[in-house]
């Protein structure tokens, strides 16, 4: 069997199951969060998101996610898909995935992609950086080829960017390319719900891209107000979380 045949028969993404009980894993997450900010804690409203993203990181078959069309309904997570984490401005979305990235790094978690072992601790870029890649080279090819990638604040970028007179939407280009691949894992944070009742996500990216996001990601939400602002009563996951 030649190399080409071997690649065709190799699973594109193979998640490894790590044998760690969830209370222990969450204790590690909590310690990582505390090191990032001493006020960090996981409240009851966000327990589901944290616990199940931990399970996703560990490759556990009992990981769950939310149905974007009905967030009261919990569904089985697809471990070969990435994550779409939605929540209000300042609620702690970016903070959550940063803690989870460090969790993967500390434990040395891996994923097998096309037979090669890759680190699960993802590279992270703000959506404005995606635009900067486009403005420099007229494409986002470097990000398209990254095995595990996280994009923060999807939806806050300008609708168009111009490179040498050519107009393009680098975020759409990136999502469409990675959405067409079966050997890439992509994580997003956004202020926009995947099934936004106001249709803002659909208006910004169109049906094709939104359909790709549904196909690419397990859906989660972080709840809470803007934790960057002083609050009289703190009852959220982390008073100093950044989102």
Compute the distance between CA of residue 238 and CA of residue 202 in angstroms, rounded to an integer: 31
Sign of CA dihedral 142, 181, 85, 149: negative
Instruction: Indicate the DSSP class of residue 179.
Output: H
User: Within a 10 A sphere around the Cβ of 161, how many other Cβ atoms?
Assistant: 20
Q: Are 178 and 13 in contact (CB under 8 A)?
A: no
Contacts of 190 (CB under 8 A, 6+ apart): 84, 85, 86, 93, 153, 154, 155, 201
- pLDDT for 90 equals 81
- The per-residue pLDDT for 2 is 56
Return d(Cα 146, Cα 136) in angstroms, integer: 18
* Span 85-121, pLDDT tens digits: 999 988 899 999 999 999 999 999 999 998 999 999 9
Position 68 scores a pLDDT of: 96
pLDDT digits (tens, 9 = 90+) for 133-162: 665 665 577 787 899 999 999 988 656 544
Decide: 209 and 172 in contact? Cβ < 8 Å: yes
- The rounded distance, in Å, linking the Cα atoms of 157 and 241 is 22
Residue 76 to residue 58: CA distance in whole angstroms: 15
Helix (H, G, I), strand (E, B) or coil at 76: strand
Q: Which helix (H) or strand (E) holds 75?
A: strand 70-76
DSSP 40: B
3-state secondary structure of 110: strand
Average pLDDT for the chain = 85
Dihedral of the alpha carbons of 24, 29, 34, 40, in degrees to the nearest 10: -110
């Amino acid at each position: 069997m030649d190399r080409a045949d071997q690649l065709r028969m190799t699973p594109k993404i193979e998640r490894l199951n790590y044998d760690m009980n969830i209370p222990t894993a969450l204790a590690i997450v909590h310690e990582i969060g505390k090191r990032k900010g001493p006020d960090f804690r996981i409240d009851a409203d966000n327990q589901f998101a944290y616990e199940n993203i931990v399970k996703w990181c560990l490759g556990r078959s009992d990981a769950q996610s939310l149905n974007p069309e009905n967030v009261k309904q919990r569904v089985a997570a697809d471990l070969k898909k990435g994550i779409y984490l939605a929540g209000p401005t300042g609620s702690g979305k970016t903070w959550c995935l940063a803690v989870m990235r460090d969790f993967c790094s500390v434990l040395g978690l891996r994923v097998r992609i096309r037979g090669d072992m890759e680190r699960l601790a993802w590279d992270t870029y703000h959506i404005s950086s995606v635009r900067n890649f486009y403005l420099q080279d007229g494409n986002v090819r470097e990000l398209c080829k990254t095995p595990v990638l996280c994009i923060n604040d999807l939806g806050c970028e300008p609708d168009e960017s111009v490179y040498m007179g050519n107009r393009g939407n680098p975020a759409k280009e990136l999502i469409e390319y990675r959405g067409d691949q079966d050997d890439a894992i992509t994580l997003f944070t956004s202020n926009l719900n995947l099934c936004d009742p106001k249709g803002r996500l659909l208006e910004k990216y169109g049906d094709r891209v939104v359909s790709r996001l549904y196909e690419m990601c397990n859906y989660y939400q972080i709840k809470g107000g803007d934790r960057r602002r002083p609050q009289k009563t703190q009852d959220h996951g982390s008073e100093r979380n950044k989102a």
